[in-house]
Amino acid sequence: MNMPSRASTNSVRHEVLAYFVLLVVSFCLSIFLFMGNPWTASDLNEDSYIWFVEFSRSIFQPQSAYYAESILLPLLARIFGATQTLLTYKLLCGLLTICILPITAIFAQRYFQNLFKTLLFIVLFGLSFQYLQYYILGFPDPLTILLLSLTVFQKRLGAMFALLVLAMLSHFSMAALSVIGLAGLVYFSPNVDFNSHKRMVGVLLAAVLAGKAILLTWYAIFHYQLVSRLDWVLGKGYPFFFERYESNIAGFWITPGISFLVLYFLIATYFLIQKRYTFVFMALFPLAISYAALFWTVDGLRVFAVVIAAPFAYFLISFINSLPFWKASK
């Protein structure tokens, strides 16, 4: 009978310790950010954003509202009995919001295999991604953000595909925009070989199509006839959105937060210095998509956060992996 060597035992202990440290740090940071939201107490006690819990209760019946494209979280809430009251539904959303950083930390460590790289990612992502503090309970955003963020840590294309399909079921329109922004970054990434680029982009696009096919099948089975988000936008008209933009131009541009914008452009500057011009251009593309989504909707930060989630996480990973002192420390 072969006994485990001392070296392998120490390796397991170090790995367990790394995950423990990451969970403690990410959970504490997540709770700190979550409790920093000044509107949480009033939000929990108000009957605001009730339509998703009502949709969850009637998810197997015909629907027409455009938000019924987001079936995953309402379905999970129905399965786990979180639709009894609006409060229980919002508590589920709150739990998912708190879990974004800890779960991401686990997947990030599996990807990086380096405690300090993962800690750097969690701290930078946590402190700059404003949604983690200024969330709105009741929407499928935390689940969508989590699925999109986990996607960029997958080395197996099958796992990436599965997570993206789930993201499409969580919030198709915004997740699809996030994937479009991510595709350019992946294709011109400095950290992956060209053939891997093409395969990954193929998986991204296939996941969007597969997610849409599943949704159309669901609509047919349960007789959904949804008003599309495009119909809703066209119904409002361009003047409506432009007037909202003009009423607070500065607020529009700083919606994702000063810390996010500063970090994003610092990373872009770093890659410009590295002469990764195409990669920097493709990093600005998802930013433009996110601002476009922000302009043509009325939900503010939550829309921007979902659309930018996957590209921002991938951009941050690329930055961390390219830092020279990791190689010097080997």
pLDDT confidence of residue 325: 72
The tens digit of pLDDT for each residue in 102-161 reads 999 999 999 999 999 999 999 999 999 999 999 999 999 999 999 999 999 998 999 999
Instruction: Give residue for tokens 């669901």.
Output: 218
Annotated domain spans of the chain: 12-321
pLDDT at position 1: 47
Query: What is the C-alpha radius of gyration for the chain, rounded to an integer number of angstroms?
Result: 21
Task: Tell the residue number behind the tokens 């872009």, with chain if given.
Answer: 268
Would you state the pLDDT for residue 193?
A: 60
Q: What is the pLDDT of residue 186?
A: 92
**DSSP state letters, 111-179:** HH--HHHHHHHHHHHHHH-GGGTS--TTSSHHHHHHHHHHHTT-SSHHHHHHHHHHHHHH-HHHHHHHH
- Structure confidence at residue 318 (pLDDT): 94
Cβ–Cβ contacts within 10 Å for residue 2, how many? 4
- In this prediction, the residues of the chain whose per-residue pLDDT falls under 50 are 1
User: Tell me: the pLDDT tens digits for 78-92?
Assistant: 999 999 999 999 999
Closest CA relative to residue 298, chosen from 208, 229, 214, 250: 229
Which pLDDT value is given to residue 13? 82
pLDDT reported for residue 118: 96
Residue 194: what pLDDT? 54
Record the tokens describing residue 94, joined without a space.
């709150």
Sign of dihedral through CA atoms 137, 140, 146, 149?
A: negative
Q: Give pTM, 2 decimals.
A: 0.94
Q: What pLDDT, on the 0 to 100 scale, is given for residue 195?
A: 60
